[in-house]
A and B are shown apart, each in its own frame.
Chain A
Amino acid sequence: KQEVTQIPAALSVPEGENLVLNCSFTDSAIYNLQWFRQDPGKGLTSLLLIQSSQREQTSGRLNASLDKSSGRSTLYIAASQPGDSATYLCAVSFGGGGADGLTFGKGTHLIIQP
């Protein structure tokens, strides 16, 4: 069974710091990997999608990397802000052709202290 693990489960840092969230997965035969943000009581907001053939994707202060061979992805957040406080979820599509649903990690609960 494919599994996705996120470390740490929770993280609290002062505003302005750069930080890295980690995601690992058990099967390197992935189709793509997606990072989401979830605010309390809300749905999931897609942040970045990395295709299996890509090594990284960037959007503003966010950079996601993918190393298929080691089964790892990282989400780098530069110059963190209190508005970045949320739960960040890593999700992997293991299906051939990308047709399968996503397998999610349990998330990293991030708090940025003002």
Chain B
Amino acid sequence: DAGVIQSPRHEVTEMGQEVTLRCKPISGHDYLFWYRQTMMRGLELLIYFNNNVPIDDSGMPEDRFSAKMPNASFSTLKIQPSEPRDSAVYFCASRAWGNQPQHFGDGTRLSIL
């Protein structure tokens, strides 16, 4: 069974460019989460979805960040315009309904120059 799949694995772009990160959750999982990991702040929740509906986006740092989940098998996290302080590893995770563990993708390492 395939795990959570994220793309791209690495992204290097210049300040001001639009960045789109993609995630395919595990089939059948009802919840999808986006996290960001930095050395200074560790892992932080950005937003999560239940049945494709955004439930809590209080962790999204600024209006430059947006996330969508158009269907049960695909989600995007977009940064526009990007800034150097957005450089981090972005993880997507999914979970089945109930008291179940979250499963993480391998992350996207984002560098904004």
Interface residues of A (CB under 8 A from B): 31-32, 34, 36, 41-46, 49, 51, 89, 91, 98-107
Contact = CB atoms under 8 A, between A and B. Distances in A.
Interface string B78-94: 00000000000001010
Contacts, number: 55
A43 B99 contact: no
B91 to A, nearest CB: 6
8 contacts: A32-B99, A43-B4, A49-B99, A49-B101, A51-B99, A98-B99, A101-B48, A101-B56
Contact of A46 (B50, B98, B102): B102
Contacts of B56: 100-101
Q: Which of B55, B56, B99 counts the most A-chain CB atoms under 10 A from its CB?
A: B99
B101 A46 contact: yes
Top-9 shortest CB links A-B? A101-B45, A104-B43, A44-B104, A46-B101, A43-B106, A43-B104, A49-B101, A106-B42, A101-B48
